Structure 1
Amino acid sequence: MEKKLPIFKTGDRVRIIALPPYLKTADPMPMLRPNSAIALGEEGIIIKQNFGGYYSIRFTQGAYLLESKYIALADN
């Protein structure tokens, strides 16, 4: 049975619960960055939902594409 991934909405505040091996920027011409560009527990805001369970998320130091398995809704 396939695990259902959470669905987030544009504007949701999320936090990093696990770091991917690398990060992909959410720029028109994406680039790979080391995962040290963001910290575990850092919060950002969903700016766009992409195909395949990926989200564009704005952090203080930039916007990155992350899979839903790496994020969770932030506590308010």
Structure 2
Amino acid sequence: MKFKIGEKVSLKVSQSYLKTNDPMPMLRPPDLVASDELGIITALLPKDLAEVKFRRGTFLLQTSHLKPEHSSEENA
């Protein structure tokens, strides 16, 4: 799926960790972002990575782990 900068997204699946988008990236616990929390894509990076700004930080995530705000997909 193709995403655009500024698009609102949420997590499709829970993550085992979150990688911060800092000059020296750190691994953070996954509970910083709820699965229903909306974030905004601030950059699209090579290798299907997106920089997503959530309420508690900006993280690097695989685009395959994201779903658009108005997605009809329902994951258990």
TM-score, normalised to structure 1's length? 0.86
- Matched with 1:15 is 10
The correspondence for 2:68, drawn from 43, 60, 73, is 73
In 2, the alpha carbon distance for the partners of 1:29 and 1:8 equals 25
- Matched with 2:47 is 52
Instruction: Tell me the alpha carbon deviations over residues 13-44 of structure 1, each in whole angstroms, 9 at most, x when there is no partner.
Output: 11111112111001121100011111111110
- Matched with 1:31 is 26
In 2, the alpha carbon distance for the partners of 1:22 and 1:65 equals 11
**Poorly superposed stretches of 4+, deviation over 4 Å:** none
- Overall identity of the aligned pairs, in %: 36
| Number of residues of Structure 1 aligned to a counterpart in Structure 2 | 70
Amino acid at match of 1:19: S
Stretches of structure 2 that go unaligned for 5 or more consecutive residues are 71-76
- The residue matched to 2:42 in structure 1 has which SS? strand
TM-score, normalised to structure 2's length? 0.86
User: In the TM superposition, what is the alpha-carbon distance from 1:45 to its structure 2 partner?
Assistant: 0.2
The correspondence for 2:36, drawn from 13, 24, 41, is 41
